[in-house]
Amino acid sequence: MQKENIESILKDYHCPYMGTDLISGNTVKDITVNGDNVSIKVVLGWPAEGIMQDFHENLTAKIIEAYPSAKLTLDLSYEVIAHTVQKSLERVKGIKNIIAVASGKGGVGKSTVAVNLALALKEEGATAAILDADIYGPSIPRMLGLSGRPDSEDGKTLQPKVGHGLQAMSIGLLVEEDTPMIWRGPMVTQALEQLLTDTNWKDVDFLIVDLPPGTGDVQLTLCQKIPVSGAVIVTTPQDISLIDARKGLKMFEKVEVPVLGVIENMSTFICPECDKTESIFGEGGGEQLATENNVKLLGELPLQKQIREEMDKGTPTVSANPESPTSLAFREIARKMAATLSMRKKDYSSVFPKIVIQND
């Protein structure tokens, strides 16, 4: 048995999350073969707590099937690193990756998806946070059950609030819930920048930014001034929703922010009385949008009364019922999204020391 034999097996092991094999995905860090003793080190670039045991068992079985006499030591882990952002922009201190969650129009459940997606990333082993970028209609505080103003240790910066293990910041934490934000565009965009850069984020792997619907000032500010690693589009199967979702997707393409995939929300309605499902908003819209634009359909989520009730109470689904089918669907979506990002170009700038030239 040679090293090349093991490499051949790993090249044949297709990962559905990355869409490629372990060798091509650059996840195999070391292979050592000494007689029947085989040692393999695999480091995934995305949080995968929910599938680590199955992943380990399946890969072990595949190798033992090919070489029954092998005495295998498989070191399987994951590590989230920073990925490249728009040209001329630098990453925000304390944050590795910023993911924008957007929709072309309101009413598609984008904020609900954003909160549960962030929680799903946390459940998968990442350090996650969420920024409420909807200045006019902030909803994240209520969805996470947060209240009260954020603390400030120096009078200049803010400490993020923490709800269900998520670091969070929102303009809704700085004003009363019933106070309208009667601001013009420049004030809104400045507020968004300050909420991001003046918050002391702590070792965040993924910051989910819940964008307001549309393609206006806030969205353009995010694309032009905030270092974004990728974007996710939320839509319903309905044609009216898809029309606007396409606009959001094209906006990210034009400003060179990679779209990691499409999430179809309210895909089916689940009757709370009989559990019968019905496609009241149509079928296949999210898949069609993803196919047309050569991106992944990350997943489909149901329209369910329980999800709405839990969000209104400040106990999001992934936190309130972590083993429910909907929560497991969110975790599957989170893995696909993070794995897709892991295949993109890495940002190694933080590894290299800054060179300073001084005159004697």
Q: What is the pLDDT along the chain (360 residues), one digit of tens a residue?
A: 688 989 999 999 999 999 999 999 999 999 999 989 999 999 999 999 999 999 999 999 999 999 999 899 999 999 999 999 888 888 899 999 999 999 877 788 899 999 999 999 999 999 999 999 887 778 999 999 998 899 988 888 999 999 999 999 998 898 776 666 666 666 777 888 889 999 999 999 999 999 887 767 777 777 778 899 999 999 988 888 888 888 888 888 888 889 999 999 988 887 777 777 788 777 888 899 999 999 999 999 998 888 989 999 999 999 999 999 999 999 999 999 999 999 987 765 554 444 445 554
**Parallel, antiparallel, or unpaired for β 37-44 and 71-78?**
parallel
Nearest to 296, CA basis, from 222, 245, 233: 233
What's residue 43's pLDDT?
96
CB distance 218 to 102 below 8 Å: no
Contact, 243 vs 104, CB < 8 A?
yes
All structural domains of the chain, each given as residue ranges with its CATH number in brackets, are: 3-78 (3.30.300.130), 95-342 (3.40.50.300)
Vertex 342 angle, CA 210 and 90, to 5°: 60
Model-level pTM?
A: 0.90
- The 10 Å CB-count burial string (b at 16+, else e) for 174-188 is eeeeeeeeeeeeeeb
DSSP state at residue 173: G
